[in-house]
Amino acid sequence: MEDPRFGVWNVLQDGEITALGREEPTTLVIFVTIPYLRERIEPLGDSLCLRLRGCRRLEFAGAGAQSSTSPREIAMQRLWILSTDSEAMPVKIVTPSGFLILDFDAVDISLDTGQPLTYDELCRVCGEYWDEWSARGKA
């Protein structure tokens, strides 16, 4: 089974990071707006919340810009998630404007309305979306 700490970033492809902050010194909270997946999960909402527990590193390294470790500054970038090919920490997430680098122990996923969501449930919803998208292209 794929490690959710790495796989979640590929599942959330095309999602936009809209909020980012520390809940505790070692817990980073990230809200990702991803309507094409979120609209498939009840109750109605538009975002997912990722809680990165045991977070030791947060850094954004922008193309041609100075890097930042400030959650507020990084959140203001309104980063779009493209992908990662990381298989070990730290995870390096590709965005159109640079790399988001994170080092953490575990990820908890929930809806913007507070209900928990397992990584397997998120993968199932994502798979269903892409299966339907692919079928439309063949029709």
Helix (H) or strand (E) holding 121: helix 119-138
Mean pLDDT of 1-26: 93
Q: Residue-wise over 14-48: b if at least 16 C-beta within 10 A, else e?
A: ebbbbebeeeeeeebbbbbbbeebbeebeeebebb
**What's the pLDDT at 139?**
59
Say if residue 21's pLDDT is above 70.
yes
Strands (E), the chain: 16-24, 27-33, 47-53, 57-62, 91-95, 98-103, 106-111, 116-117
Q: Where are the domains of the chain?
A: 4-134
Worst-scoring range by mean pLDDT, 35-44, 45-54, 126-135?
126-135
Could you give the angle at the alpha carbon of 34 between the alpha carbons of 32 and 38, nearest 5°?
110
Mean pLDDT of 88-97: 95
pLDDT digit string (tens) for 95-105? 999 999 999 99
Please choose, from the candidates 45, 63, 65, the residue with its C-alpha nearest in 3D space to the C-alpha of residue 110: 45
Predicted model pTM: 0.92
**What's the pLDDT at 1?**
60
Percent above pLDDT 70 for the chain:
98
- Residue 100: exposure state from Cβ atoms within 10 A (0-12, 13-18, ≥19): buried
- Dist. CA 111–CA 41, nearest whole Å: 9
Worst-scoring range by mean pLDDT, 10-14, 60-64, 111-115?
60-64
Mean pLDDT of 107-118: 97
Q: Compute the mean pLDDT over every residue in the chain, rounded to the nearest whole number.
A: 93
Say if residue 11's pLDDT is above 90.
yes
Q: How confident is the model at residue 94 (pLDDT cuts 50, 70, 90)?
A: very high
